[in-house]
Structure 1
């Protein structure tokens, strides 16, 4: 199975390392102009680097380049009939982009696959949505340093956070996804599985008393109630990237070759 990549960061590198275990190989890596050498250093000297899909083809392409990568290359890949796996789920809070990608997938006769990322339990929420789903909330809790480079810096001192947990964002999943593009993909995934971006409540918390990224989902409806919590570890080589997010991409690729899928 030939796998293309958008981007070559921590998730892309993890997935590339796992490809031989699932009968896969790198087809190409799409990068920004001028980043070809850096991509080869990260992903392998012999890889083909591209700045757009053009005439290149693969069995599946994985988007690991953030919201900008999905915006720039997603529609072209889908129109070419190539399945696309993305971890940049928060980008779909932009309704115009979501429509563009939907239309491109229909035109190409393929699908945009949303990786479950750093969270689980989405299958239960999606099933519950078939009945009446009354409430879904998501809380994301990280050590203060995990919020560096985000809008949390505008409302608190992440280097001197004090001893108590601080809620630095409270609002809808749409607001979280658009305001925190690097931190709220999980909130977006929860929203898409259940009540949508505008009816899913989100809290983002900086907590000096934790040393893991903690994701908590609660839901209530005709099915009953659920609470789901993950204490996620990060990749050893990148403390800002969820290990489970990278693992979920590998599983999604591997599932394409499995006769029985869960």
Structure 2
């Protein structure tokens, strides 16, 4: 299978290097702005040039703005698009644009579970009768630096796990584009952005990024708790996030059957 990647940052380069180790997958090129100083694969300078490499699948790993700028073109080209920046879909206009492009162009919009487990179970629960979904994300102060959290709480003075935001999933995903992609994935799988409740915490004692959720309904109850180490190059990102992309790609290639 031929795969092209948008973005060559912490996630994009990680995904590319792992895919290159599989002889059944060819990484055709990456489109990244700014252009990386070095790259192990060809670098192109436009989304059109990326699509000209004839990929079977394009993987977006470059953030919300990049998805807004490139996602529609990929889908209207008829190429499947795997999205890392799931939180961008909390923008109703963008979600509508991409779903419309997928319906009209033939390319499929693929949403990975990211760092959060249990997404398939939540999707099944939605069919069986889902009443509530509550998510809690707890990370160390360094994971919240450079985000809106600095306006809501003094990260340097926190001595124990402290919640600084309680809101719906749409608010969390749009206000924390680098931290809340798992929230968006959970919302899309379950009750939607408005009905998914979110609690964000800073914890100086946190070991990695911690995600928990509880879903309740006529089907019963689902609860999950995950602690993931972070990418060395980006403490905001759980290490499971790029591995979720890699697994989805391998499933798409028929290398994983379950």
TM-score bracket, shorter-length normalisation: over 0.9
- What's 1:28 paired with? 29
Q: TM-score, normalised by structure 1?
A: 0.93
Which residue, out of 221, 228, 234, partners 1:238? Answer: 234
**Kindly tell me: are residues 211 and 259 of structure 1, through their superposed partners in 2, closer, same or farther at Cα, counting changes over 3 Å?**
closer
Q: In structure 1, what is the Cα distance between the partners aligned to 2:13 and 2:255?
A: 27
- What's 1:213 paired with? 209
Deviation of the 1:132 alpha carbon: 1.6
Listed as ranges, the matches of 1:11-26 within 5 Å are 11-22=11-22, 23-26=24-27
- What's 2:166 paired with? 170
Q: Is residue 8 from structure 1 mapped to residue 4 from structure 2 by the alignment?
A: no
Q: TM-score, normalised by structure 2?
A: 0.94
Q: Is residue 144 from structure 1 mapped to residue 145 from structure 2 by the alignment?
A: no
Q: In structure 2, what is the Cα distance between the partners aligned to 1:171 and 1:195?
A: 14
Tell me the SS of whatever aligns to 2:88: helix
Q: Contact 1:77/1:84 (CA < 8 Å) preserved in 2?
A: yes
Q: Contact 1:53/1:73 (CA < 8 Å) preserved in 2?
A: no
Q: Deviations over 1:212-254 (max 9, x none)?
A: 1100010101111121000011123433321110101111111
Tell me the SS of whatever aligns to 1:164: coil
Q: In structure 2, what is the Cα distance between the partners aligned to 1:260 and 1:89?
A: 23
- What's 2:68 paired with? 71
Structure 1, 72-81 or 54-63: larger mean CA deviation: 54-63
Q: In structure 2, what is the Cα distance between the partners aligned to 1:90 and 1:239?
A: 18
What is the aligned residue count?
A: 255
Q: In structure 2, what is the Cα distance between the partners aligned to 1:53 and 1:166?
A: 46
Structure 1, 15-24 or 198-207: larger mean CA deviation: 15-24
Q: Deviations over 1:74-119 (max 9, x none)?
A: 0000000110101111111111111110111112212010111111
Q: In structure 2, what is the Cα distance between the partners aligned to 1:52 and 1:258?
A: 26
Q: Is residue 93 from structure 1 mapped to residue 90 from structure 2 by the alignment?
A: yes
Q: Which runs of 5+ in 2 are unaligned?
A: none
Q: In structure 2, what is the Cα distance between the partners aligned to 1:243 and 1:155?
A: 26
- What's 2:219 paired with? 223
Q: Which runs of 5+ in 1 are unaligned?
A: none
Tell me the SS of whatever aligns to 1:117: coil
**Kindly tell me: are residues 208 and 59 of structure 1, through their superposed partners in 2, closer, same or farther at Cα, counting changes over 3 Å?**
same
